[in-house]
Structure 1
Amino acid sequence: MSSSSQRTSNNPRNRRPRRKLSKRQRQIYRRRRIVALIALIVVLALIAFCMYSLGRGMMAIDASIRHDDQMALTRSAVPTPMQQSKVKDCTASDIDLSLQSDSRTVAVGGSMKFTATIKYVPKGKSSCLIDAADDSRVLTIKSGSDTVWRSDVCDVDSRQLLLAVGDTDTQTMTWNTNRTGSSCAEDSTLPKVEAGTYTAQLSMKDHPKIVSNKVTISVG
């Protein structure tokens, strides 16, 4: 190739001129790049959030499994409750109730004291359980067929007795010659009974066949 041809091909005037972008086009390209970068950041953030949520979910499942295993171990470590006592409840053939009064007469508005006795009279040698509280071992005062006073109108604490051969329980009970209602009330607020003849008797609320002798009282 001749030197003249070489000079002709290297002449800057024969090169394709570079395209010059306008200011507006540069702004458009710059905005596109920014939008693409923001989209990329959003996608990466979504991926990171999904990975975080998945990790949290796996941790929660693992914690739940470990908790269930621990609860199972705890339950297995709890000892089996001891078997309750096989002591039987007292029946009519085991118990003898008796009632005595300090006096057979009392003034209107006065007080009468009674002695309530529970005696264990079994045929065998086994023991038995009985509740000897005043709302279980009940003192009842009557005038004819009219029930005047009962010791079980107000609830009291249970008094469980384990009775063996020859055991006797003795308690003092007081009647202030008044009349109980259908609900518990202060003894001082109860109305006094009128002069007359009354009978007193003990009974076991849960065992109707267990009753004491009757005591006749004169109020006057």
Structure 2
Amino acid sequence: MSSQPPRRRPSPGVYRRRRLVVLLALIAIIAVVVWLFVAQPWSSAAQSDADPKPTRTSSAAPSPSASTPTPSDSPTADAAATTEPGPLETAPPTCTRGDVTVEALTDQDEYGSGQNPQLSIRLTNTTDAACTINVGTTTQSFTITSGSDTWWRSTDCQTDPSDMIVTLDAGQSVESATPLTWDRTRSSVSTCDSESRPVAGGGGASYHLAVEIGGVASSQTKQFFLY
């Protein structure tokens, strides 16, 4: 039976070197851990990512050129805002007697018993230009005659006359808006409130209506008959 030679134990110097290596490794590990806790390199990296450096494009302050207008000595704005007055419109002239014609009108040529004539005026501008004329009741007159006898005047018992200035265009004709009714009685300034004024005769009697408006009288009368 063979016997193995006993294993040789390391010398004390080897043990000391091994212990020194282990001790140095442990010291290095401890130093690295301490450095990590003290230096905290990850904190600097996070702070650097969270706080980027400001740039010109991220500034919220408005630029002076965008918010404040630059004064200018140029009169362009004032000239654009100023409108030059146009030519003044002149009012049409007043119609003269030669500018207009006046015509007496009745709603019928013959009236039976109990029918009252409706009287109107037609006014025509015979010129090629507009003119103005007063067509109010202050300038209107209706007169009814039979032969040389004047039976009725609208001005005898007129109340509250008024003025009305209108413009007649060239060639324009206008008529009374509301005809005037003749009640077939004789008028006078002293019998306006009387209920027993004389009544015009019928039986085919002939009557004539003459009118005036704006100082212009009708050139002809309008004939009608009462029955």
TM-score (norm 1): 0.51
Q: How big is the shift at 1:166? A: 2.9
Structure with higher Rg: it is: 2
CA contact (8 A) 2:135 2:214 kept: no
CA contact (8 A) 2:145 2:208 kept: yes
Give the aligned partner of residue 144 of structure 1.
Answer: 147
Give the aligned partner of residue 217 of structure 1.
Answer: 224
What is the CA RMSD across the aligned residues, in angstroms?
Answer: 2.7
Q: How big is the shift at 1:135? A: 4.3
CA contact (8 A) 2:104 2:211 kept: yes
Match among 174, 197, 205 for residue 169 of structure 1: 174
Spell out, residue by residue over 1:57-101, the C-alpha distance to the aligned partner (whole angstroms, 9 max, x if none): xxxxxxxxxxxxxxxxxxxxxxxxxxxx86433222111112232
Give the aligned partner of residue 50 of structure 1.
Answer: none
Give the aligned partner of residue 192 of structure 2.
Answer: 185
Which SS does the other structure have where 1:199 is aligned? strand
| 1:157 maps onto 2:162 in alignment | yes
CA contact (8 A) 1:136 1:152 kept: no
Task: Identify, as 1 or 2, the structure richer in helix.
Answer: 1
Which SS does the other structure have where 1:191 is aligned? coil
TM-score (norm 2): 0.49
| Residue identity opposite 1:143 in structure 2 | S
Task: Identify, as 1 or 2, the structure richer in strand.
Answer: 1
**Relative to 1, partners in 2 of residues 1:184 and 1:94: Cα closer, same or farther, differing over 3 Å?**
farther
**Relative to 1, partners in 2 of residues 1:185 and 1:118: Cα closer, same or farther, differing over 3 Å?**
same
**Relative to 1, partners in 2 of residues 1:106 and 1:214: Cα closer, same or farther, differing over 3 Å?**
same
Match among 207, 210, 213 for residue 204 of structure 1: 213
CA contact (8 A) 1:203 1:212 kept: no
**Relative to 1, partners in 2 of residues 1:194 and 1:161: Cα closer, same or farther, differing over 3 Å?**
same
Percentage identity across aligned positions?
20
Give the aligned partner of residue 131 of structure 1.
Answer: 134
CA contact (8 A) 1:134 1:151 kept: no
| Residue identity opposite 2:100 in structure 1 | I
Which SS does the other structure have where 1:193 is aligned? coil
| Residue identity opposite 2:101 in structure 1 | D
| Residue identity opposite 1:112 in structure 2 | P
CA contact (8 A) 1:131 1:160 kept: yes
Which SS does the other structure have where 1:162 is aligned? strand
| Residue identity opposite 1:198 in structure 2 | Y
Matches for 1:117-128 after TM superposition, within 5 Å: 117-122=122-127, 124-125=128-129, 127-128=130-131
Q: Which runs of 5+ in 1 are unaligned?
A: 1-84
Matches of 1:101 and 1:182 in 2, distance apart?
24
Match among 76, 86, 102 for residue 97 of structure 1: 102
Q: Which runs of 5+ in 2 are unaligned?
A: 1-89
**Relative to 1, partners in 2 of residues 1:94 and 1:163: Cα closer, same or farther, differing over 3 Å?**
same
| 1:116 maps onto 2:110 in alignment | no
**Relative to 1, partners in 2 of residues 1:180 and 1:121: Cα closer, same or farther, differing over 3 Å?**
same
Give the aligned partner of residue 54 of structure 2.
Answer: none
Spell out, residue by residue over 1:119-149, the C-alpha distance to the aligned partner (whole angstroms, 9 max, x if none): 1112x42x32222234423221001122111
Q: How big is the shift at 1:190? A: 4.1
